[in-house]
Chains A and B, each alone.
Chain A
């Protein structure tokens, strides 16, 4: 079963068993503008919930990406090296950042569901 959760810092996390895929939301890419570079974590790196794990750079500025939950990075999206614009084109799909094995599923309880995230974004616009 797949479920998607969100952070207040505009990352999404899609959970499939013990593995989670992480990216940034459509709202986040819209705010950043054209993405020109993404710095991704290497497989094996420990991710700590709420700590910086990746960096996304637009023409304008660099933005930090925070790990939604703790775990170990298993894979990063190598397609972004050649085509960082995938983040703009398909933030929720082909523009994913990395996958990690979840350390403690209890941390998922702190994340926002779709309705809560939509409400958060509505309040920002």
Chain B
């Protein structure tokens, strides 16, 4: 997933700004990305929960689908209800494979005459190839490599944006075109932290100006990938390549809510046979929240046992700064997936008690309007 040593890392349009802000960088999905700033992961995480944080997510793929009926065309490849998505509205969905596995998770916004998609950085090339092969001939794919993507997240995000763009009071999971400090942005009220917030798509050459404008607000701090990961884990949200991948189905991943009612009845998407069978019969394993007892974090790939028998594995685990202790998510066999079930985690060779718990670990605070 990350670049090998002999592949030069790509940079986002904000790379120089990250350097100026004192970021530490890590390779992520082929990009040289800021993992933290001088505030540190813990401080950045708490800042987002208390005020507002600015994330550079320009590594993610932005693209447009155009044609006579791009929604109908896309529905062949995703289990989500896209045709009923009203103009200006946004939805989380999944690209699936023939076996019902997940090729990517993505956001789809209906912009009237076209669909706007945001896909993961590590999968964007494969996603575009998959869309090219699977969409009908009348649908064209337009990647937008010349646009940057910024996320402004946290309880103060709305007031920060309101100072710069008075018409920013859109509800969660909807979109608007806004001039922010004179910069034309395509804005959605969305994000991946569990907090209220916005994602701002902007021409690459304007990204630095927009970022500096937002960072000039005393409520806003720059936030790296480290805190992005702990925030989304506390919010119970999946990280592609870790919590979901080609070997996990939407049902196993507890993402059945992303499958529309009509889609359940009609099928007609890649992998529908397996996915709808699992929906009816129940999956063999399930993604769950896991709360370790005590203070020791249990990391990705930690084995989960029940009375000496392996029942699953942690796919994301660490310390939740707002949860105030270790938190994790992973897959367990369905018989052990009920909240309250006691399990054991194999951490450095010793068994540590833990419980299956509902997610999120920290309540979502989305703006419902």
Chain A residues proximal to chain B, CB less than 8 Å: 33-34, 36-37, 39, 55, 57-62, 81
Q: Is B296 an interface residue (CB 8 A)?
A: yes
Tally of A-B Cβ pairs under 8 angstroms: 43
Q: Which residue of B lies closest to A57 (CB)?
A: B297
CB distance from B118 to the nearest CB of A (A): 25
Residue of A nearest to B300 (CB): A61
Find out whether the CB atom of A33 lies under 8 angstroms from the CB atom of B348: no
* Min distance, Cβ B42 to any Cβ of chain A, angstroms: 4
A36 touches B297 (CB 8 A): yes
| Minimum CB–CB distance for B237 against chain A, Å | 17
Contacts A33-B226, A36-B319, A37-B319; A59 near B295 (Cβ below 8 A):
no
A57 to chain B, nearest CB (A): 5
Q: In the complex, are the beta carbons of A59 and B41 less than 8 A apart?
A: yes
In the complex, chain B residues whose CB is within 8 Å of the CB of A58: 41, 319
Contacts of B40 in A (CB 8 A): 33-34
**Residue-by-residue, is B289-328 near A (CB-CB < 8 Å gives 1, otherwise 0)?**
0000001110100000000000000000011010000100
Across the interface, name the chain B residue whose C-beta is closest to A55.
B348
* Extra 8 A-B pairs, beta carbons < 8 Å, given A34-B40, A59-B319, A60-B35: A33-B36, A33-B42, A36-B42, A59-B41, A59-B42, A59-B45, A59-B321, A60-B41
Q: Which 3 A-B pairs have the closest CB atoms?
A: A34-B42, A36-B319, A59-B41
Task: Among A33, A60, A61, A81, point to the contact of B295 (Cβ < 8 A).
Answer: A81
**B211-242 interface code vs A (CB 8 A; 1 in, 0 out):** 00000000000000011001000000000000
Bound complex: CA A23 to CA B10 (Å): 37
6 contacts between A and B (CB under 8 A): A33-B40, A33-B42, A33-B226, A36-B295, A37-B297, A59-B41
CB neighbours of B43 from chain A (8 A): 34
Complex interface: chain A residues within 8 A of B297 (CB): 36-37, 57, 62
- Residue of chain A at shortest CB distance from B225: A60
How many Å lie between the Cα of A37 and that of B305 in the bound state?
A: 23
Report the bound CA distance from A57 to B318 in whole Å: 9
What CA separation (Å) do A61 and B41 show in the bound complex? 11
- For residue A84, give the distance in angstroms from its CB to the closest CB of chain B: 8
Interface residue from B227, B299, B348 paired with A61 (Cβ < 8 Å) = B299
Interface centre among A33, A37, A55, A59 (most CB of B within 10 A): A59
Given A57-B319, A59-B230, A59-B319, answer yes or no on A39-B296 (Cβ-Cβ < 8 Å).
yes
Among A36, A37, A57: residue with most chain B CB under 10 A: A36
Contact B41–A57 (Cβ < 8 Å): no
Closest to A85 in B: B42
